[in-house]
Amino acid sequence: MPGSIQSLERAAAVLRLLAGGERRLGLSDVASSLGLAKGTTHGILRTLQQEGFVEQEPVSGKYQLGAELLRLGNSYLDVHELRARALVWTDDLARSSGEAAYLGVLHQHGVLIVHHVFRPDDGRQVLEVGAMQPLHSTALGKVLSAFDPVAHNEVAEGELAALTARTVTGSAEFESVLELTRSRGWGSDLEETWDGVASVAAPVYDRRRMPVGAVGVTGAVERLCDADGIRSRLVAAVRDCARAVSRDLGAGRF
Amino acid sequence: MTDTPTSSHGTGPFIAAIDQGTTSSRCIIFDRDGRIVAVDQKEHEQIFPKPGWVEHDAAEIWTNVQEVVAGAITKAGQDIAGFTPADVKAIGITNQRETTMLWDKNTGQPVHNALVWQDTRTDALCRELGRNVGQDRFRRQTGLPLASYFAGPKVRWLLDNVDGLRERAERGDILFGTMDSWVIWNLTGGVDGGKHVTDVTNASRTLLMDLKTLQWDPKICDSIGVPMAVLPEIRSSSEVYGTTDVGGLDAVPVASALGDQQAALFGQTCFAVGEAKSTYGTGTFMLMNTGETPVNSYAGLITTVGYRIGDAKPVYALEGSIAVTGALVQWMRDQMGLISTAAEIETLASSVEDNGGAYFVPAFSGLFAPYWRSDARGVIAGLTRYVTKAHIARAVLEATAWQTREIADAMFKDSSTEVTTLKVDGGMTSNNLLMQTLADFLDVPVVRPMVAETTCLGAAYAAGLAIGFWPDTDALRANWKRAAEWTPQMDATERDKEYKQWLKAVQATMGWLDEEES
């Protein structure tokens, strides 16, 4: 039976101690409560502090739980917050691309559309917010599967149903599609979900650089593609938009 | 690659717009399609000398305006290959309405801080001016009730309270302006030949202009105590007032001015009778185009000038305001702690199917349009043990939708014109549930345009029209792109039943304060 790692056990004990009872403790309080040497305790506290799990009060020098720990427990980004942040950028994406823009997140083994901007022409369109799209065939779904390990697990457990003649249904082939998506930073769907329809999408990151969603455009394959696949200016517009939303979420320049 | 890569920004020429707002001044540069090319923004200080008093330093604002114009031009230069300031063909202005200032025309110095629209120091003066008639004394001529927002009584307060000012004003040394006048006077040269003008929309918020003649009403000016010598010339919203060299520009026409809500009406291209826009921010302002004759309101709305393009006939609007909309969501976040960000209200509200029987009337400082009851206070009605915080969140969003419905109903009462489509803008339009609820409660489609900055866009449109950058309003309509549309899905019987419950809750707010308190 593999043994547990002593320093992790000790770090967990420190966090539990700071979480209960008196919330601010000095180094010697922590050391004596846990029966550890001061030097060892200091090393643990310093490491936890570097990770943001513990904070030291500048004046008293006492330790308390850090903001990062609170964020971990409350990590999920509200999808309505995501929409509010994306609004300006997705409007501009629809305008500059001339196509409908979508923002999707992982939800119950599929892609939940949380925001939809109409294609900027006079055609009749229906708002698709709240609709679900498949993970394995759409550009949004492939991007989520490629960048979000949870989405990857979900898609790997499910069946890769053939929605059109072009849907990738073999798991080895699908993995290489995800590998390509990861290496170039964007995903595409060339009539793999709906005949005659193509899409392109890129990942959106939050302030901790976690993939929280995907943004992209969808439209007639004749408009989105040229002989080489998705038109490069559309790829650029989608990736610009994804970067802008990520920056708005605090992901920093990249 | 077969594509020629295009910049994500448009190509020139361009129109610039200055938005001199309540908390900040901004400059946005637009291309011919109405897309944003560059933005710069700077906040200014909010000065609170006493409870209820709100002032701005007009000199600071003018400095900021120059900086944001220069800033936007610099940013455009960085982002667009080959851009020069000469590519900006005209500049337009939109502004916080009613904020009032006086300055010395010889020195160009403000004689006092500007009195901001929210400032209530003229409450007592307005009551006094109402005499035995009450707050509607000047409504027939001006379309407005005597309320502390409007500029005329603020001018009177300044003349009464700044030492020696009335004498200087009567000698002709002092100029009055709302922020549009101040910005245009400075843009066009200031002490060195600056043009002292205002536009019809801003003038219609002073309580001093006759809505039909579009001229200052000498009798009302006399009654309120404002000497005609301080008043600017009233011009249309879309014409060349002069030229400016500010911020690296060279003799660029200053070609539009519109109050912010009217600019949003223009930016939303509400050019036909019955077209309406509603801007959802902290509070909400809804304006409906009523055509070429002013419609008197007997249902608690305000009659105002919507816009006037050059020599064309003026277009009037009915306006209804809701004091608390986004502010109620902020209250749920900051005072109640039920949500941690404003957007979360939708998450919480979406977790239940309906309001669970609860109704929230946020009459925090009385009821505004169409009731105008200062004795009312907020109420959450219909509480049972079944009601959860999610139901309250739902009631919060429904409150905004019902209040909009009440304004739309009042507009129909006054004008016999039904709102057929509601064009929306402002921060709360990112709330999908609210937008669907609006469509359901009003029983009309709700549409959001692709450019969120409708206020600046309206000023840019009016300036572009004045110089022939855009040929006519049809060209502007073609620029208007639908980003989203919500269609009504509510059963009519259900809607009527809910509306009745809401109106009962509204009744419950009234008379909460005793007469002497309100």
Residue with tokens 């944001």: B68
Mean pLDDT over the full length of chain B: 91
For residue B370, whether the previous peptide bond is cis, meaning omega lies within 30 degrees of 0, is yes
Please report, for residues A203, B46, B224, B443, the alpha-carbon distance to residue B54 in angstroms, rounded to integers and kept in the order given. 45, 7, 21, 39
Report chain A residues touching chain B, CB-CB < 8 A: 78-81, 83-84, 87-88, 91-92, 94-96, 116-118, 120, 125, 127, 129, 226-228, 231-233, 236-237, 240
Note whether A206 and A249 are within 8 A (CB): yes
Task: Provide mean pLDDT across the span B502-511.
Answer: 95
The residue of chain B nearest to residue A231, with distances taken between CA atoms, is B3
Count of residues making up chain A: 254
**Which amino acid is residue A185, in one-letter code?**
G
- The maximal CA–CA distance of chain B, rounded, in angstroms, is 78
Note whether A91 contacts B483, CB cutoff 8 Å: yes
Rounded Cα distance between A201 and A213, Å, is: 10
Where is the binding site for ATP, in residues of B? 22-24, 282, 326, 330, 427
Residue of A116, A127, A235 best to disrupt the B interface, most CBs of B under 10 A: A127
Note whether A87 contacts B485, CB cutoff 8 Å: no
Nearest to B430 among A83, A127, A236 (CB): A83
pLDDT attached to residue B52: 83
Q: What are phi and psi of B16, to 5 degrees?
A: -105, 150
Whether pLDDT at A126 is above 70: yes
Mean pLDDT over the full length of chain A: 88
Where is the binding site for sn-glycerol 3-phosphate, in residues of B? 22, 97-98, 149, 260
pLDDT tens, position by position, B246-273: 988 999 999 999 999 999 999 999 999 9
Note whether B211 and B47 are within 8 A (CB): no
**By percentage, how much of chain B surpasses pLDDT 70?**
97
Judge whether B485 is closer than 8 Å to chain A, CB to CB: yes
Task: Provide mean pLDDT across the span B491-512.
Answer: 96
**Ordered structural domains, chain A, with CATH:** 6-65 (1.10.10.10), 77-248 (3.30.450.40)
**CB pairs below 8 Å between A and B: how many?**
79
Minimal C-alpha gap between A239 and chain B (Å):
12
- Counting Cβ atoms within 10 Å, is residue B96 exposed (0-12), middle (13-18) or buried (19+)? buried
Confidence of residue A52 (pLDDT cuts 50, 70, 90): confident
Residue with tokens 């330790």: A63
Judge whether B6 is closer than 8 Å to chain A, CB to CB: yes
Give A80's contacts in chain B (Cβ within 8 Å): 343-347, 430-432
Rounded Cα distance between A167 and B194, Å, is: 68
pLDDT attached to residue B302: 93
The neighbour count for residue B95, using CB atoms within 10 Å, is 30
Confidence of residue B518 (pLDDT cuts 50, 70, 90): very low
Rounded Cα distance between B217 and B207, Å, is: 9
Rounded Cα distance between B150 and A9, Å, is: 68
Rounded Cα distance between A187 and A239, Å, is: 10
Q: Quick one: DSSP state of residue B388? A: -
pLDDT attached to residue B312: 94
Mapping DSSP onto H, E and C, the string for B93-136 reads EEECCCCEEEEECCCCCECCCEECCCCCCCHHHHHHHHCCCCCC
**By percentage, how much of chain B surpasses pLDDT 90?**
71
Give B341's contacts in chain A (Cβ within 8 Å): 78, 81
Note whether B35 contacts A92, CB cutoff 8 Å: yes
Minimal C-alpha gap between A240 and chain B (Å):
9
pLDDT tens, position by position, B127-146: 899 888 888 899 999 999 88
Note whether A180 and A174 are within 8 A (CB): no
Task: Provide mean pLDDT across the span B82-88.
Answer: 91
Note whether B390 and B411 are within 8 A (CB): no
pLDDT attached to residue A73: 56
Note whether B237 and B200 are within 8 A (CB): yes
pLDDT attached to residue B516: 52
Residue of B428, B481, B487 best to disrupt the A interface, most CBs of A under 10 A: B481
Nearest to A95 among B6, B35, B429 (CB): B35
Chain B residues 9-38 within an 8 A CB cutoff of chain A: 33, 35-36
The token pair at A142 is 């492939």
pLDDT tens, position by position, B429-451: 999 999 999 999 999 999 999 87
Give B343's contacts in chain A (Cβ within 8 Å): 78, 80-81, 83-84
pLDDT attached to residue A22: 61
Residue with tokens 């309080």: A29
pLDDT tens, position by position, B379-389: 999 999 999 99
Note whether B344 contacts A127, CB cutoff 8 Å: no
Note whether B202 and B263 are within 8 A (CB): no
Whether pLDDT at B15 is above 50: yes
Task: Provide mean pLDDT across the span B420-426.
Answer: 92
Note whether A140 and A123 are within 8 A (CB): no
Give A89's contacts in chain B (Cβ within 8 Å): none
Rounded Cα distance between B139 and B145, Å, is: 6
Note whether A189 and A198 are within 8 A (CB): yes
The residue of chain A nearest to residue B450, with distances taken between CA atoms, is A91
Q: In what order do the strands lie in the sheet with B446-449?
A: B302-307, B315-322, B284-291, B276-280, B422-425, B446-449, B482-486
**Which amino acid is residue B255, in one-letter code?**
A
pLDDT attached to residue B151: 95
DSSP string computed for B45-87: --B-SSTT--EE-HHHHHHHHHHHHHHHHHHHHHHSTT--GGG
pLDDT attached to residue A199: 97
pLDDT attached to residue B159: 95
Confidence of residue B281 (pLDDT cuts 50, 70, 90): confident
Residue with tokens 């994306």: A86
Note whether B450 contacts A120, CB cutoff 8 Å: yes
Residue of B2, B8, B79, B330 best to disrupt the A interface, most CBs of A under 10 A: B8
Mapping DSSP onto H, E and C, the string for B150-176 reads CHHHHHHHHHHHCCCHHHHHHHCCEEE
Note whether A111 and A104 are within 8 A (CB): yes
Task: Provide mean pLDDT across the span B8-35.
Answer: 86
DSSP string computed for B325-371: SHHHHHHHHHTS-S-SSTTHHHHHHHTSSS-TT-EEE--BTBB-TTT
In sequence order, what E strands does A1-61 have? 54-56
Whether pLDDT at A224 is above 70: yes
Where is the binding site, in residues of B? 22-24, 26, 97-98, 149, 260-261, 282, 326, 330, 427, 431
Residue of B450, B456, B489 best to disrupt the A interface, most CBs of A under 10 A: B450
Minimal C-alpha gap between B78 and chain A (Å):
17
pLDDT tens, position by position, A165-218: 999 999 999 999 999 999 999 999 999 999 999 999 999 998 878 889 999 999
pLDDT tens, position by position, B38-76: 888 888 888 888 888 889 999 999 999 999 999 999 988
Rounded Cα distance between B52 and B49, Å, is: 9
Instruction: Specify the DSSP element, H or E, that contains B11.
Output: none
Confidence of residue B8 (pLDDT cuts 50, 70, 90): very low
Note whether B3 contacts A232, CB cutoff 8 Å: yes
Judge whether B5 is closer than 8 Å to chain A, CB to CB: yes
Task: Provide mean pLDDT across the span A99-112.
Answer: 93
Whether pLDDT at A254 is above 60: no
Nearest to A96 among B8, B345, B346 (CB): B8
For residue B13, whether the previous peptide bond is cis, meaning omega lies within 30 degrees of 0, is yes
pLDDT attached to residue A157: 84
Nearest to B3 among A92, A95, A226 (CB): A226
Q: Angle at CA B85, nearest 5°, toward B79 and B89?
A: 110
Confidence of residue B1 (pLDDT cuts 50, 70, 90): very low
Residue with tokens 């809910």: B498
The neighbour count for residue A210, using CB atoms within 10 Å, is 16
Please report, for residues A237, B164, B348, B360, B395, the alpha-carbon distance to residue B352 in angstroms, rounded to integers and kept in the order given. 37, 63, 8, 16, 11
Rounded Cα distance between B480 and B482, Å, is: 7
Note whether B485 contacts A96, CB cutoff 8 Å: no
Nearest to B450 among A80, A95, A228 (CB): A95
3-state DSSP call for residue B385?
coil
